[in-house]
Amino acid sequence: MGPSERQKKILRAIVEDYVRTAEPVSSKAISQLPELNYSSATIRNEMAALTDLGLLEQPHTSAGRVPSALGYRLYVNELMQDYRLSTDETKSLNQAMEMKMAQADKVISQIGKLVSQLTDLPAYAVRSHVQQLSVKRFDFIGAGTQSIILVVMLSSDEIKNKLIRLPLVITDHDLKLLGAVLNASLAGIPASGFTPELIDRITKNAGDAASLVPIVVDFVADLLQAQQHSEVFLTGQNRLLSQPEFHDIDKAQQMLTTLDEDIISNLPATIGGNGTQILVGPEDISKELRDTSVVMTQFDIGEGMKGMIGVVGPTRMDYAKVTARLSYFAEGLAKMFGTSELPPSETDKEDS
Amino acid sequence: MGPSERQKKILRAIVEDYVRTAEPVSSKAISQLPELNYSSATIRNEMAALTDLGLLEQPHTSAGRVPSALGYRLYVNELMQDYRLSTDETKSLNQAMEMKMAQADKVISQIGKLVSQLTDLPAYAVRSHVQQLSVKRFDFIGAGTQSIILVVMLSSDEIKNKLIRLPLVITDHDLKLLGAVLNASLAGIPASGFTPELIDRITKNAGDAASLVPIVVDFVADLLQAQQHSEVFLTGQNRLLSQPEFHDIDKAQQMLTTLDEDIISNLPATIGGNGTQILVGPEDISKELRDTSVVMTQFDIGEGMKGMIGVVGPTRMDYAKVTARLSYFAEGLAKMFGTSELPPSETDKEDS
DNA sequence: CTTTAGCACTCGGGGATATTGAGTGCTAAA
DNA sequence: TTTAGCACTCAATATCCCCGAGTGCTAAAG
């Protein structure tokens, strides 16, 4: 049987107090709240019940109570009140987002920094491709007799390029031929489809430009690989140190390295749930991370790409506030990357 | 009057012992070294002298000695022995460098990570332009009727691009015209030279493509600005926490934030000295940073760009080793970016 | 004049011990 | 069902003391 309404109210009060103070919460503190006007003894009884239900924990016999992982779960699922962004906050959020984010991959790392600043916690940002990438079209631009520029447009509509210094002089005509052959044979094919036979055939058809084929193919293959592999940006680690739970250097370091290693490599895989997710440390990530939680939000970037921003903090963190900021941000971003409505003056700006 | 030879020898021993142990060095410890076979009393006398010279310090009356900032300075300038990289080390350094560093700006951040790993300290990497950038040439590629790709080659030989969705249909002919006009009027001109009059003249000459002019110009102007502004990558902050001097959380945090703020913003400006430089904390950076030093090395990337890699660590760090690794690395990089010898198969790989 | 042995003195670190006070659980009365 | 009251627990803090590493100085030896 679950907790009573009053018990939930108390639980909520405890979580919120704990979030504020980072100290175990006493019955007295709760009994003094205007909305819970009972004596400390009454609260104590209820707290004992909540402890039996596994929603609270006691660091030691004569200390106050602290929410357990289960307690947090209940809190974030049912009890948490939407945090209302103040107009000041929305203003600064908007301002932050309006910042010129010059290049597409820079955007994602900028976002990380912003989120970190706004929550005063470490944050990370991920961009990951959910579809197999391929090249949509190839173009060559002559750049003097000694070099040409290869420009490829990916299926994600990103454009990448490479300057190729020529080992020999190649005529415009040959270049056109090569372009045509490549467009005919490689367009739409993901890196996994680059079989030796295919390459062979292309080389045969490429005429005098045959010597360029391996260079181009290697470049494209590398590119597709590299893009596939998603990127994670992590910033603001130092902000974690101001949290009291990490005043223990060892914990702090363990935390930071886990951040660097685990989170970075595992979280992209976690991508899949939708909207804002809250991972409560020991429950959802790893038992060692007693005091760590992650709040993350995903959003669509369109063109087969997803983005994700997340905040890492003490299990005791202000979920409501963090969540609010995060989703507001994610909405803004989704709009910014807006899949459909592209006003002609605000075209995509891509960089390879 | 400077220290005697014997005093220097003692100073060197003290620095090196302190680097190893992170504990104040006692006269006894020194007197036991085979190369300084004096009684502890003798050493004590000399140590007292070195203290008078300001080269050593005493944390408190009955503790051993610790090198002062001045002491370190003398050490790194005169006393430090070249650290010989073992073959194992060179091997792993080479291996690390051979790693595919797919894109030009990625390279620089990868380097940071590598250096951090190899020194087990936080490291940063900077790429900065020393010359005013301009565009070398403009090209357009049609991509369907609704969009075109603008490709610009910068004076640094980097290539950037932008996908432009067209508000209207533009003929190939118009596009060629626009390209010609831009190449004629904007090539070689830095952003600062984009005067309203110039833009005006271009727009007049652009015929039917006039509506594209502002888009292109804005893009280019932004681009040149953004590139000018140098980028700093900092990684491995957590490694600092394993150093005993930062077991004090407050120090650690102060350090980390200073890292984030000061170093990041100020060091690029410091670019200018040549070769490997050692900045001893309180002396060269800021008085607050009692325990922090920076070792940094610059190298030429060619094409009006400079790179810099640096390591941040406790003032007590193994300067010899760090310096060795750093310069080895810098050499390798300079070679890699090698200005002149570009084997045709290993062309520049640029990304915009 | 330089080196060294000897000795008194200093002072931080660590361990043991006492003290405090916040908080609990339980009981009995309202 | 709520509350007042009280005994009890235990982490955190303060206090004290001792240990020993290390120094500075002096006086003797080289």
CB-based contact B215 A165, cutoff 8 Å: no
CA distances for A222 relative to A130, A155, B333, angstroms: 18, 15, 21
Terminal C-alpha separation, chain B: 57
CB-based contact A165 B348, cutoff 8 Å: yes
Give the distance from residue B56's alpha carbon to the nearest chain A alpha carbon, in angstroms: 29
Give yes or no for a contact between B135 and B254, defined as CB atoms under 8 angstroms apart: no
CA angle A64, A68, A70 (to 5 degrees): 150
> Which CATH number does the domain housing residue A170 bear?
3.30.390
Closest among B304, B251, B246, B312 to B278, alpha carbons compared: B312
Closest among A124, A116, A166 to A146, alpha carbons compared: A166
Tokens 């976002």 belong to residue: A111
In a domain, B16, yes or no: yes
Domain boundary, last residue among A178, A194, A228 = A228
Q: Residue A99: CB partners within 8 Å, gap ≥ 6? A: A110, A114
Domain with A97 in it = 87-122+236-336
Q: Residue A255: CB partners within 8 Å, gap ≥ 6? A: A240, A246, A289, A291, A292
Q: CA(A58)–C1'(C29) in Å?
A: 29
Question: Both A118 and A249 in a single domain?
Answer: yes
The structure tokens listed for B62 are: 């009955």
DSSP category for residue A260: I
Work out how many domains chain B is built from and give that number: 3
Question: Both B282 and B250 in a single domain?
Answer: yes
Give yes or no for a contact between A125 and A112, defined as CB atoms under 8 angstroms apart: yes
Give yes or no for a contact between A20 and A30, defined as CB atoms under 8 angstroms apart: no
Chain-centroid distance, C-alpha A80? 23
| B292 beta partners | B314
Give yes or no for a contact between B292 and B315, defined as CB atoms under 8 angstroms apart: yes
> Which CATH number does the domain housing residue A43 bear?
1.10.10.10
Question: Both B330 and B258 in a single domain?
Answer: yes
CB-based contact B151 A157, cutoff 8 Å: no
Domain boundary, last residue among A228, A254, A280 = A228
| A299 beta partners | A307
The structure tokens listed for A329 are: 């941000």
Give yes or no for a contact between A296 and A308, defined as CB atoms under 8 angstroms apart: yes
Element (H, E) at A46: helix A40-52
Beta-sheet strand order (sheet of B276-280) = B231-235, B123-129, B305-314, B292-302, B276-280
CB-based contact A352 B347, cutoff 8 Å: no
In a domain, B130, yes or no: no
What 3-state DSSP class applies to A9?
helix
The reply to whether B67 Cβ lies less than 7 angstroms from strand D is no
- The pLDDT value given to residue A272: 57
Give yes or no for a contact between B43 and B27, defined as CB atoms under 8 angstroms apart: yes
Question: Both A260 and A324 in a single domain?
Answer: yes
Q: CA(B284)–C1'(D24) in Å?
A: 33
- The pLDDT value given to residue A80: 86
Give yes or no for a contact between B231 and B107, defined as CB atoms under 8 angstroms apart: no
Q: What is the largest CA-CA distance in chain A?
A: 91
What Rg, from alpha-carbon coordinates, does chain B have?
A: 27
Spatial separation of the C-alpha atoms in residues B11 and B159, rounded to whole Å: 53
Question: Both A248 and A103 in a single domain?
Answer: yes
Helices assigned H by DSSP within chain B: 5-21, 27-31, 40-52, 69-74, 87-98, 104-119, 172-185, 196-205, 212-228, 237-240, 249-258, 264-270, 319-336
Closest Cα in chain A to B236: A260
In a domain, B348, yes or no: no
In a domain, A45, yes or no: yes
Nucleotide minimizing C1' to CA distance for residue B38: C3
Chain-centroid distance, C-alpha A265? 12
- The pLDDT value given to residue B237: 85
Which residues on chain A are in Cβ contact (under 8 Å) with B238? Answer: 237, 253, 256-257, 259-260
Spatial separation of the C-alpha atoms in residues B153 and A142, rounded to whole Å: 12
Question: Both A223 and A242 in a single domain?
Answer: no
User: Low-confidence residues of chain B, pLDDT below 70?
Assistant: 96-106, 262-274, 281-288, 302-304, 336-352
- Strand C, nucleotides covered by protein (CB < 7 Å): 3-6, 9-12, 21-27
Closest among B253, B268, B329 to B126, alpha carbons compared: B268
> Which CATH number does the domain housing residue B241 bear?
3.30.450.40
- The pLDDT value given to residue B188: 86
Terminal C-alpha separation, chain A: 57
Read off the pLDDT of residues B197-242 as tens digits, 9 standing for 90 and up: 998 998 888 878 888 888 888 888 888 887 777 777 888 888 888 8
Question: Both A13 and A50 in a single domain?
Answer: yes
Question: Both B249 and B307 in a single domain?
Answer: yes
In a domain, A58, yes or no: yes
Pairing, β A292-302 against β A231-235: unpaired
Read off the pLDDT of residues A286-312 as tens digits, 9 standing for 90 and up: 666 777 888 888 887 766 677 888 898
Question: What is the torsional sign of CA B306, B309, B314, B316?
Answer: negative
CB-based contact B350 A161, cutoff 8 Å: yes
In a domain, B127, yes or no: no
Tokens 């447009």 belong to residue: A153
Question: Both A153 and A279 in a single domain?
Answer: no
Spatial separation of the C-alpha atoms in residues B337 and B347, rounded to whole Å: 10
- The pLDDT value given to residue A28: 95
Domain boundary, last residue among A173, A197, A228 = A228
User: Low-confidence residues of chain A, pLDDT below 70?
Assistant: 96-106, 262-274, 281-288, 302-304, 336-352
CB under 8 A, 24+ apart: contacts of A263-270: A263/A124, A263/A232, A263/A234, A263/A294, A263/A312, A264/A124, A264/A232, A264/A234, A267/A124, A267/A126, A267/A232, A267/A294, A267/A296, A267/A308, A267/A310, A268/A126, A268/A128, A268/A230, A268/A232, A268/A308, A270/A296
Tokens 């045509």 belong to residue: A180
Question: Both B252 and B302 in a single domain?
Answer: yes
DSSP category for residue A259: I
Spatial separation of the C-alpha atoms in residues B5 and B2, rounded to whole Å: 9
| B313 beta partners | B293
Question: Both B177 and B311 in a single domain?
Answer: no
Give yes or no for a contact between A99 and A345, defined as CB atoms under 8 angstroms apart: no
Pairing, β A123-129 against β A231-235: antiparallel
In a domain, A31, yes or no: yes
In single-letter form, the type of residue at position B328 comes to Y
What 3-state DSSP class applies to A155?
coil
Total beta-carbon pairs less than 8 A apart between chain A and chain B? 131
Question: Both B108 and B253 in a single domain?
Answer: yes
In a domain, A345, yes or no: no
